[in-house]
Structure 1
Amino acid sequence: MPGRSLDLWTPAHRANPRPLYARMREQSPIVRLLEPLRQVPFWLVTRYDDTVEVLRDERLTKDPRKLSEHARSTVFRSAQQGLLEHMLASDPPDHTRLRALVSQAFTPRRIEALRPRIVAIATELMEAALARGSVDFIDAFAFPLPVIVIAEMLGIPAEDRDQFREWTQALFVPPADGNPEHAMAAGQSFVKYLSTLIQRRHSEPGEDLLTALMTAEEQGERLSPTELTSMVFLLLVAGHETTVNLLGSGLLALLEHPEQHERLRGDRKLMGPAVEEMLRYCSPVETSTARFTVEPIEVCGQIIPAEEMVVAGLMAANHDPEVFTEPDRFDVGRTPNRHVAFGSGIHFCLGAPLARMEAAVAFELLLNRAPGVKLAVEPERLEWRKTAFIRGLEHLPVTFG
């Protein structure tokens, strides 16, 4: 039976899963758990070296089409097929082709060219928040910044941005009653919206990433209609989820460690290492996306049957004392810092340069414009999202002093 005693989804473990991960690393470095959204068992790996091995293991597939119909329907019953043909749900050679079609939009050089616009968006959001005196930092800044950036990149109308949060929340947060219908409805709405948007772009092309994806070719191939819908979905979700949680959790880490906050304020050359430490310490993506066995294989000394889900524990790996000195200490100057917050191997996060840029801009602005920022509630009252895939706060009430 799956390990119910190691329940990552209790409020206490959502608030601080590090002690539980430490126990897993020591006693059960690979453990079978039950995923609450779809009630599907999965194997979770928690040690750093094992995590990197799983992320790079070519025996594990990301492609649901390689599973039997029964396994697919069990694992993906609340998902929409129109959202499952992107590069994170594929293996080479499909993965190679799909990633090549979008990678040129996310090179460090192209992301650096976005800096003035990112600064402008962040400044506008910050000034509005400062004028109010106290805000929910997630709603006022951490969510809108990356959503506006990725929506502008893709050419998404401004009035549609808030809808993405509702849909992604439904898709990633386990329902209280265990009923997946809300997630299924959100997926259907997302597919319908994206299909309509793509149809509109066919007749009204623009200077945006969506139009570029529709016209891009790689060795004579283009994205199929389903691949295009899936890819836009992936870019929208991945393009904001990581950064929302990095900004919220990163600010909380600074506020809970005032000596590190002051250290960063006094030495802005630490901004790069500080962002990397937030990625490690906070791990905004707590676990990797799913991989599957196509036949029985041994993983970390455990025989995994065919057609079972294997997940790498990114946050657990990022706090492994075998790799990180004093792993539970938040240190804005930590070096080296070989975290796996963006994964590893061929599925390493394509948007990593963008997330790093947005975080550096945001925290530089906070240090300059909001030196007196403080938590508006006791830390124990903060609520964390009820999923072990995404690591983030529901709300972060702050005052600017």
Structure 2
Amino acid sequence: MASPFTDPAFYADRYPTYAALRKRSPVLRLPLDGGTGPAAVVTGFDQARAALADPALSKDTAAFFADRPSGRSLHPALATTMLNSDPPDHTRLRRLVTRAFTPATVDALRPYVAALAEQLAESWAPGQRVDLVEGFAAPLPVTVICQLLGVPTSDRQRIRRWSTDLFATGDHQRIDAASHALADYLTELVAAKRRDPDEALLSALVAVRDGDGDRLSEQELVSLAVLLLVAGHETTTAAIGNAVLALLQHPGQLELLQSGPHRIAAAVDELLRFDSPVSIATWRWAPGPVRIGGTDVPAGSPVFVSPGAANRDPARFPDPDRLDLDREARSHLAFGHGIHRCLGAPLAQAEIEIALRVLLERFPDLRLAQPVDQLSWRHSRLVRGLESLPVLL
């Protein structure tokens, strides 16, 4: 069977492919584009949840590719982020940044996020046609994470462009070029923060790098900055766009939220389950033989865990292709599971909730400006998100 990830139709609608794979087996070994051999693809909910937390699977991509020259020129700061590491390194690095994303910290950020969302929406008028991704879903989380890290306002458009290029599945030249541009920029920004520190998170990480105790190497510092910057907005942008599209396609559920705005916070989990912004989780592999959901995975095999597929598993969520905002969906895997669960999940949920609240209050007659089958989706294996979402306000 050919890799399903090379079919353009997959990026427009992944769920029929996931359902067909899961019907064959919740864990399948499939050909993988990129020359790394067959990969185990995990589409069942229970199997995905177990694999995401399985210490027998490694995220150390440097070790995987050590004896498999890829011919790539990805910047080392992106190839060795916290997301691509195992304990004890992962434990140490995550501990240094966890306090920036605690529920208390996020609660303190909520007024800023709400004011920003209102400001973005204020530039629009009822009856206007706008691109919801470009004008709202992208700038909201980009601005928040840049503000948190201390990225100058004038540089944020470049950050957004480089970050988008990093997820261009199959376009290795574009990805590698973006990795160098972003890492070089952040190396310079770190130097600037060292000369002139402020109250933002990046300056705090520089202080950890230069201080006593649990220190960061210079590459670890830049890698953390890259990861926080990219992960801090890409999936949230996708989630906001996906959520709005899902509601516009399900007018009954949209009316439910409009009649009871207090439901929005709880509805975010079902919207994340229904169309997860993380379609296939970041790279894992098996250093030794491992058994996943009854399937033997040989040593050296890549393992692709799909939260997008798992969240549509009927064994866990009955009638999974139906959007049901009354569904109990908090167990979804959109943010992952285990020690690598997204540490920015509280912030992402707050941003999605606030974005939906502002849009529904300001534009109760929001509707699509073009047919769904004409919408353009990002060509990314990892991120499930729209290139643009034209709407009429």
Structure-1-length-normalised TM-score: 0.93
* Match runs of 1:243-392 below 5 Å: 243-392=236-385
Aligned to 1:21: 18
Aligned to 1:215: 207
What is the deviation of 1:219?
8.9
What is the deviation of 1:261?
0.2
Aligned: 1:189 with 2:186: no
Conserved 8 A contact 2:289-2:297:
yes
CA distance in 2, matches of 1:224, 1:131: 51
Percent identical across equivalent pairs? 42
Matching residue's letter, 1:282: D
CA distance in 1, matches of 2:30, 2:219: 32
Q: Provide Cα deviations, 1:279-310, integer angstroms capped at 9, x if missing partner.
A: 10010011111111112323333332322211
* Match runs of 1:30-41 below 5 Å: 30-36=27-33, 38-41=34-37
Aligned to 2:47: 50
From the superposition, tell whether residues 15 and 93 of structure 1 become closer, same or farther in structure 2 (CA, over 3 Å).
same
- Larger CA deviation: 150-159 vs 183-192: 183-192
- Larger CA deviation: 239-248 vs 294-303: 294-303
Conserved 8 A contact 2:284-2:302:
yes
What is the deviation of 1:54?
0.7
SS of residue matched to 1:310: strand
Matching residue's letter, 2:203: T
Structure-2-length-normalised TM-score: 0.95
From the superposition, tell whether residues 303 and 325 of structure 1 become closer, same or farther in structure 2 (CA, over 3 Å).
closer
Aligned to 2:91: 96
From the superposition, tell whether residues 272 and 63 of structure 1 become closer, same or farther in structure 2 (CA, over 3 Å).
same
Q: Provide Cα deviations, 1:158-216, integer angstroms capped at 9, x if missing partner.
A: 111111232122221124xx5x2222111111111111110111101011000111123
CA distance in 2, matches of 1:78, 1:331: 44
Q: Provide Cα deviations, 1:34-66, integer angstroms capped at 9, x if missing partner.
A: 555x45443210000110111011111111343
Aligned to 1:201: 193
What is the deviation of 1:331?
1.0
What is the deviation of 1:131?
6.9
Aligned: 1:225 with 2:225: no
SS of residue matched to 1:44: strand
Aligned: 1:234 with 2:234: no
Q: Provide Cα deviations, 1:57-111, integer angstroms capped at 9, x if missing partner.
A: 111111134336223x33x834221223332111111111101100000000000
Matching residue's letter, 2:112: R
What is the deviation of 1:134?
1.4
Aligned length: 391
SS of residue matched to 1:129: coil
Conserved 8 A contact 2:281-2:304:
yes
What residue ranges of structure 2 are gaps of 5+ in the alignment?
Answer: none
CA distance in 2, matches of 1:338, 1:163: 36
What do you get for the CA RMSD once the two structures are aligned? 1.9
SS of residue matched to 1:249: helix
From the superposition, tell whether residues 325 and 157 of structure 1 become closer, same or farther in structure 2 (CA, over 3 Å).
same
What residue ranges of structure 1 are gaps of 5+ in the alignment?
Answer: none
What is the deviation of 1:332?
1.4
